[in-house]
Amino acid sequence: MNALASLGNAFVSICHPMSLLLMAAGVAVGIIFGSIPGLSAAMAVALFLPLTFSMTPSIGMNLLVAVYIGGISGGLISAILLNMPGTASSIATCFDGHPMAKKGEAGKALGYGIVFSFLGSVFSFIILTFCAPLLADIALKFTPAENFGISFFALTMVAVLASGSMVKGVLAGMLGLIFALVGMAPIDGTPRFTFGNSSLMAGFDTLPTLIGIFAISEILITAESMGNGKLETIKMKPVKGFGFTWKEFVYQLPNALRSALIGTGIGILPGIGGSTSGMLSYVTAKNMSKHPEEFGKGCPDGIVATETANNATIGGA
């Protein structure tokens, strides 16, 4: 009875007019932050934090969670339209989102991303509401051995994603590990690969690295295309509603459910995040698909898997 009473009080707090207004504003601002490469959901939350000092705890939490959800979801906009992930969670969205946009299906790709981002968030918060104590017990039982196993499993995804040359895929994974090792060791604070440069003590942050890998390369490719007079413009075909039919929506439900479970499971583990859950769900969707050869060429399954998982991570986290 006490749990039901607490749940009822929570719903009353959420339905307060001021809370609804602030959540709508928070989601809108979060989407703007998430859609601009270089900004992030965490930055939006940090900027909004001082505004909550004069609010009640429930309304303040509602605002911050809304800002964070908007920021995670907003990353799909730049990932699909510009091939530049607005947040780290939207890396895998670029793989199929931008090819769909090049084929004139940007509206359909955005529709898939928006709808299944929403469903992933709702799923994870339902799990959070009713299963939080159980999930917390599972998370607390994870030891360094289990965390190492998950990290090792994440590295094996490189082999799956290396659809062309396996050597190139392994070299790319090793390069990523080298970048991740730069900076202070998390346990004993020993400087690693800083070469005496104090600017490298903090390591390479995820967001600037993403901008360097995706944004700079895309800008250079666009500049070269403009110089050659071969610049391709994205033409959006007119869409109705969210751009996909009810039959297509039902077809994606097993993929979305599987990705939501992956995202929620990854979310309860400390220090992993939406980028890992998005990549893992993308690889899983590719392996489970009847047409894996279409992934990377504009397959909606990849967008659904990534956006469902990275938003489902929020509730688990």
Give the model's confidence band at 54: pLDDT under 50 very low, under 70 low, under 90 confident, else very high.
Answer: confident
| 145-192 pLDDT per residue, tens | 777 777 777 677 666 666 566 777 777 778 878 888 888 877 677 888
- Predicted confidence (pLDDT) per residue in 81-98, tens digit: 888 877 777 888 888 888
Instruction: Average the pLDDT over 54-69 and give the result.
Output: 84
Asked whether the predicted pLDDT for residue 2 surpasses 70, the reply is no
Strands 191-192 and 183-184: antiparallel
Q: What is the pLDDT of residue 53?
A: 85
Share of the chain above pLDDT 90, in %: 0
What's the CA angle centered on 119, arms 116 and 125, to 5 degrees? Answer: 140
Tell me how far apart the alpha carbons of residues 56 and 151 are, in angstroms, rounded to a whole number. 39
Q: What is the pTM of this model?
A: 0.76
Q: Distance (Å, rounded) from C-alpha 32 to C-alpha 25? A: 11
Residue keyed to tokens 């666009």: 222
For 275-303, write each residue's pLDDT tens digit. 777 788 888 888 888 888 888 888 888 89
Length of the chain: 317
pLDDT of residue 232: 64
* The predicted structure's pLDDT at residue 182: 86
Dihedral of CA atoms 252, 253, 254, 255 in degrees, nearest 10, equals 50
pLDDT in tens, 188-206: 778 888 887 877 887 887 7
**202-227 average pLDDT score:** 74
Residue 1 has pLDDT above 60, yes or no: no
